Amino acid sequence: MFAKKLLQKASGGAQKPAPAPSPRGCLVAEDLDPHIVSHYGIPSTASLLAFDPIQCLLAVGTLDGRIKVIGGDNIEAILASPKQLPFKNLEFIENQGFLVSISNDNEIEVWDLDLRKTASSLLWESNITAFSILHGTGYMYVGDEYGMVSVVKYNADEGKLVQLPYYVPTDALAEAAGLSSPIDYPVVGLLSQPSSRGTRLLIAFSNGLLFLWDASEDRVVLVRGNKDLPMEGKTANDSLEASHDELSDLELDGKEISSLCWASADGSVLAVGYVDGDILFWDFSEGQKGKASNHAVKLQLSSAEKRLPVIVMHWCLDVTRKNCGGKLFIYGGDIIGSDEVLTMLALDWSSGLGGLKCVGRVDLTLSGSFADMVLSPIASSRQSGVFLFLLTNPGQLQAYDDTSLASLMSQKENNSSASPLPYPMVVPTMDPRMTVAVFAALDVNDKLSLALSEIVVAAKSRTPRTPSGESAQWPLTGGVPSHLDDYKLERLYIAGYQDGSVRIWDATYPCLSLIYYLKPNANGIDITGVDASVTSISFCSKTSCLAVGSKSGVVRLFKLIGHKSGGALEVVTNTDKKAHHLHQEDGPQWLAAYSFLSSPVCTLRFVQSTRRLAVGFKCGRVAMLDIGAPSVIFVTNSLSDTGSPIESLCVKSSPVPTDQNSISSEALDDLILCAMTKDGQTILFDGNSGKMLASCLKPLKNPTAIRMHIIENCYENSEMPSEKHEKKSHMINASESHSPAGEHNAVTETKFVDQIFENSLFLMCSEDALRLYSLKSLSQGSLESIMEVNIPRPCCWMGTLKKDGRECAVLLLYKTGHIDIRSFPNLEVVGESSLLSLLSWNFKPNMEKTVCSDDFGHVLLVNGCEVAILSFLAHANGFRLPESLPMLHDKVLAAAADATFSHFPVHKKNNDGTPKFLSGIIKGFRSSNEQKVEQVQDFSHLGNIFSSPPYLKPSAIGGDDEKIIELNIDDIEIDEPTNILPSTGKDKKEKKDKRTDKERLFDGASSDAQPKTRTVDEIKAKYRKAGETSAIASQAKDKLLERGEKLERISQRTAELQDGAENFASMAHELAKQMEKRKWWNI
């Protein structure tokens, strides 16, 4: 072989022979690319919420490194971080199409919503304890455990996340607070003050200190929470009749901050929650700027001594109170051991902050343990107003609108109830509980499929936006659905539920859409057990027939293509058959219901001729149903001595003759029905008569069979493993064959079986092994085992993969969550993956019952409230990614919002302060003046501020519109060295005048200034002197000499000043570099 290859290499001009074709069913590792196609539902590990009010997108962070992004019209996306770590911060860069997350290992990641992946990341050296993004900008404040506050910026053009030179010096904060050493407590809160154009930042430390820092002036504006300053203010309780006590005895030492939020639109009032359950409202108004005191009002939700920490607070402004009141949403602060509730307080301080009082309280009972909440205005074609999004564990998302919250507050009862809007699951899995599902592929060129496509398009237009059909609609509208011109229905996802209902989705593209909802009952027709839990589903794409089996043994038959009519519903029992008149609309038609056994249906299988349906029951019996003229053809006895359930069914028909005209319309196909029980027995039947043809003994003592599959035409152009492996035989027990239709000639049966199973293999999957059999020699009395492969883990589900139209591999799911792909024909492992690596899922009991797949590498799985579609083949792009994916970021809306805000000041405004033309674009901003003000501010000046460290900002340059002062060289006076004498009032006045002259000298020193052209008359008027001509000439000569001396001295002084300036600049630059590298404790 080596010599042959060497010879071929030497003959460079010779044409290389074509490589030998891969054996049939061969799959290699390069053919695999496991990835997520789509994901639906809220993860059970959800822990954080973030909201973009302009794009109307909601993001949900999890404890396992995933981010769920939710929009409108069933638009959902999952973003997965390589590190499966919890997120502790999550926030949108509003209206920019980016999402920022901070993981537990302090890595800041910026996610690009268009590309659905990480755009940039930055690993922070210290533990991040506080984080905030300036609204509408890429500037971010980062606070750490050492008390440092830094500035980070994401540059969208370059796609980079960089740390800027600017920071907040801790020594300046300590000096303002009167502390002898720099602050080294963790930063627990960072809030940009509204209406400050991003230059003022509220910094909260864990020890209770609050600073208002001005970045444009590099100074502390206000200090609050200092234990050494006297307290001024009162205490208010949450009762409607508020009582106030003096705060002079409030102990601030050791009072640790746990949450905070602005409680006013202009940033004059700050609400701070503490670990001991107290809430303090601090006065940050300009009127308190000069007072060295702690002016605050204390609020308590409970008078108990031990209370819960105030974990989360959000403020909603009440525009009717003119920035002197609103609603405060609080989680925590109540007595320890009380029911878990979310408290909403209506507060008013119209008479001043000192007169703060509670005018209403409502406790919202939570459906699970609290995770997070966001409060934001929303404006859309569906909903408008302020919405509260509430996240509870495990993975429950609800929304309250301002109308329902206002109605709750207006009621007198404290425990009044208001139904929140539940998150509308695109694919319901828990309420009701999903029990079984199938993934059905359609032939897009088939006439029935094309007709079904037209019906689906019409059905989508009638389907309500919310899958539950509720009148109240979910407020999210973000994202842009994909619209492909050449739409054809290619896939259906069909699920059965515990209440007997069936739902059908269009799964052609990743964005699933509900098209049909089949109720379990028919109006006016009583069928016993029809509403029992669905246990099996089968769909026939050739006839668009759907069979649904239930736990009660009832089998329902539907046809998805139907027209409005008053057809008959045939009910077939074990004694008779009745036809019931049933009025049905366009869409799925209920054709028949079979109820003849009370055993649960385990499996359903349409026969290839499409005129029959095979049914396997839990009691171990098999039935064949005629679906043309609804009837029961035959029912077998139990196939297992132990009554083992029927786990799998396969049907094989004889080859179709080439002369189609020789086949009568009533002729029956030659059918072989193959059934496998859960204990591993395999029985072959005559599909027309029910006669047992063969029975295979159990290959092992106590196997647990999962599925069997017949591989068609395996012997063509393939080397079978039977040539290399020893055959293992299991004898057929012919004596156990019982035929209700009488005896047949054995020779005829042998030829009949050999003809049907020619070139076919039989694959059986059990918990512990894969077994491959040959069915060619079935008539010879043995079932030949070609290969037996022991699998390393307990298997629970098997699917098949096709490549180039041929079955090429099996897909195995283990109870440990691992996934194996084994190639035909040797069943060797060519790829491995796991639910944990792909979806961050752990395997749960009975998960395999809702796993389904098609032949093209697509697998659909359900885990709790989550539904995911996976794709395993690299070259299979049946979902037409990425063009079929919806857009998460609406660029048209973003451009419209930017244009709206840029023209905001030049338009007329409504009574509430918003431009009139905004009412049709962003209505929701009327509900929050704070949000509105933040959006219209200009932040272009921040680049100058944050581009250098504090106290080293570049000097401002005068504008072009400044007045230009004309100077004459004769007006310049050179300062001579003088002795320093005690200054008097007169001297100070003279120095001040000289300083003014210097300022006048440099004012207007713009490069654009041009010398003024003077006329001859102006020159004569200025320099004309009285006296003789000789005297005038002598005086001019003296002036020229004096001017020369002045110019020489100016030149010398200029050189000296230039040298001094260069030395000072060099020293300042070196000092700044050294200070940047040093920590505060080295200063």
pLDDT digits (tens, 9 = 90+) for 563-583: 666 678 889 988 888 888 877
CA 178 to chain centre: 46
Q: At 997, is the pLDDT very low, low, confident or very high (cuts 50, 70, 90)?
A: very low
Give the CA count within 13 Å in the CB-facing half-sphere of 932.
Answer: 23
| Residue 475: cis peptide before it, omega within 30 degrees of 0 | no
Phi, psi of 961 (to 5 degrees): -85, 5
- Listed in sequence order, the residues at least 6 apart from 967 whose beta carbon sits closer than 8 Å to its beta carbon are 1000, 1001
- Quick one: pLDDT at residue 465? 45
Q: 260-306, pLDDT tens digit by residue?
A: 999 988 888 999 999 989 999 998 886 544 444 567 888 888 888 88
- Quick one: pLDDT at residue 538? 94
Burial of 18 (0-12, 13-18, 19+ CB in 10 A): exposed
- Quick one: pLDDT at residue 939? 77
Phi, psi of 160 (to 5 degrees): -125, 145
- Quick one: pLDDT at residue 632? 92
Is the confidence at residue 427, as pLDDT, over 60? yes
Which amino acid, 22? S
CB 583 within 8 A of CB 598: no
- Quick one: pLDDT at residue 833? 94
Phi, psi of 311 (to 5 degrees): -80, -50
Pseudo-torsion of CA 901, 905, 910, 913, nearest 10°? Answer: 80
Q: 93-128, pLDDT tens digit by residue?
A: 999 999 999 999 999 999 999 999 999 999 999 999
DSSP 854: -
CB 389 within 8 A of CB 373: yes
CA dist 358 and 1012 (Å) reads 70
For the ranges 230-239, 241-250, 262-271, 287-296, the one whose mean pLDDT is highest: 262-271
- Listed in sequence order, the residues at least 6 apart from 565 whose beta carbon sits closer than 8 Å to its beta carbon are 584, 589
Look up the CATH architecture of domain 124-228: Beta Barrel (2.40)
Give the CA count within 13 Å in the CB-facing half-sphere of 890.
Answer: 20
Phi, psi of 319 (to 5 degrees): -65, -25
Q: 335-371, pLDDT tens digit by residue?
A: 888 888 999 998 988 888 888 888 888 888 888 899 9
Q: At 143, is the pLDDT very low, low, confident or very high (cuts 50, 70, 90)?
A: very high
CB 27 within 8 A of CB 809: yes
Number of residues written out for the chain: 1083
Q: 502-558, pLDDT tens digit by residue?
A: 999 999 989 998 988 999 888 778 888 889 999 999 998 888 899 999 999 999 999
Q: What is the pTM of this model?
A: 0.79
CB 224 within 8 A of CB 294: yes
Instruction: Collapse the DSSP code of 145 into the 3-class scheme (helix H, G, I; strand E, B; otherwise coil) and give the result.
Output: coil
Q: 26-40, pLDDT tens digit by residue?
A: 788 888 999 999 999
- Quick one: pLDDT at residue 848? 93
Q: At 906, is the pLDDT very low, low, confident or very high (cuts 50, 70, 90)?
A: very low
CA dist 394 and 371 (Å) reads 9
CA dist 298 and 307 (Å) reads 15
CA dist 1080 and 1076 (Å) reads 10
Sign of CA dihedral 373, 378, 382, 387: positive
The mean per-residue pLDDT over the stretch 484-509 comes to 91
DSSP 995: H
CA dist 388 and 386 (Å) reads 7
Per-residue b or e along 276-290, where b marks 16 or more CB atoms closer than 10 Å to that residue's CB: bbbbbbbbbeeebee
For the ranges 542-546, 977-981, 1012-1016, the one whose mean pLDDT is highest: 542-546
Is the confidence at residue 996, as pLDDT, over 80? no
CB 362 within 8 A of CB 416: yes
Task: Mark out the alpha helices in 102-142 (DSSP H runs).
Answer: none
The mean per-residue pLDDT over the stretch 831-848 comes to 93
Is the confidence at residue 730, as pLDDT, over 60? no
| Residue 882: cis peptide before it, omega within 30 degrees of 0 | yes
Higher pLDDT, 1083 or 131: 131
CA dist 93 and 51 (Å) reads 10
Q: At 690, is the pLDDT very low, low, confident or very high (cuts 50, 70, 90)?
A: confident
Q: At 1020, is the pLDDT very low, low, confident or very high (cuts 50, 70, 90)?
A: low
**Average pLDDT, rounded, for the chain:** 78
Burial of 325 (0-12, 13-18, 19+ CB in 10 A): buried
Give the CA count within 13 Å in the CB-facing half-sphere of 160.
Answer: 4
Higher pLDDT, 9 or 654: 654
- Quick one: pLDDT at residue 701? 59
CA dist 419 and 613 (Å) reads 45
The mean per-residue pLDDT over the stretch 619-639 comes to 90
Burial of 706 (0-12, 13-18, 19+ CB in 10 A): buried
Is the confidence at residue 245, as pLDDT, over 60? no
Task: Render 727-768 in DSSP notation, one character per residue.
Answer: -EEEEB-GGG---TT----HHHHHHHHHHHTTT-EEEEEESS
- Quick one: pLDDT at residue 622? 94
CA dist 262 and 273 (Å) reads 12
Burial of 763 (0-12, 13-18, 19+ CB in 10 A): buried
Structure tokens at 161: 């996340």
Could you tell me what percent of the chain has a pLDDT over 90? 36
- Quick one: pLDDT at residue 955? 57
Q: At 86, is the pLDDT very low, low, confident or very high (cuts 50, 70, 90)?
A: very high
CA dist 220 and 688 (Å) reads 91
Could you tell me what percent of the chain has a pLDDT over 70? 71
Block residue for tokens 């003050």: 193
- β-pair type (294-300, 231-237): parallel
DSSP 1018: H
Burial of 632 (0-12, 13-18, 19+ CB in 10 A): middle
- Quick one: pLDDT at residue 829? 93
Give the CA count within 13 Å in the CB-facing half-sphere of 366.
Answer: 25
- Listed in sequence order, the residues at least 6 apart from 649 whose beta carbon sits closer than 8 Å to its beta carbon are 603, 604, 605, 614, 616, 622, 673, 674, 675, 676
Structure tokens at 850: 């809702």
Q: At 15, is the pLDDT very low, low, confident or very high (cuts 50, 70, 90)?
A: very low
**Pick from 70-74, 289-293, 600-604, 1042-1046: least confident:** 289-293
* Type and span of the H or E element at 1029: helix 1029-1077
Higher pLDDT, 205 or 1050: 205
Distances (CA, A) of 764 to 435, 786, 848: 24, 12, 17
Q: What is the CA radius of gyration of the chain?
A: 41
CA dist 372 and 48 (Å) reads 6
Distances (CA, A) of 126 to 108, 145, 150, 711: 12, 7, 12, 59
CB 968 within 8 A of CB 188: no
**Pick from 4-8, 497-501, 936-940: least confident:** 4-8
CATH of domain 429-459+478-635: 2.40.128.630
- Listed in sequence order, the residues at least 6 apart from 598 whose beta carbon sits closer than 8 Å to its beta carbon are 529, 552, 553
The mean per-residue pLDDT over the stretch 1012-1025 comes to 56
CA 6 to chain centre: 56
Task: Mark out the alpha helices in 318-410 (DSSP H runs).
Answer: 402-410
CB 757 within 8 A of CB 778: yes
Block residue for tokens 């689906």: 456
1014 CB neighbour count, 10 Å cutoff: 10
Instruction: Collapse the DSSP code of 902 into the 3-class scheme (helix H, G, I; strand E, B; otherwise coil) and give the result.
Output: helix
- Quick one: pLDDT at residue 417? 59
Nearest to 133 by CA among 106, 107, 154: 154
Is the confidence at residue 682, as pLDDT, over 80? yes
Q: At 666, is the pLDDT very low, low, confident or very high (cuts 50, 70, 90)?
A: very low
Higher pLDDT, 581 or 24: 581
- Quick one: pLDDT at residue 741? 36
Q: At 927, is the pLDDT very low, low, confident or very high (cuts 50, 70, 90)?
A: very low
- β-pair type (294-300, 310-317): unpaired
The angle formed by the CA atoms of residues 230, 235 and 241, to the nearest 5 degrees, is 160
Is the confidence at residue 391, as pLDDT, over 80? yes
- Quick one: pLDDT at residue 738? 38
The mean per-residue pLDDT over the stretch 1038-1045 comes to 78
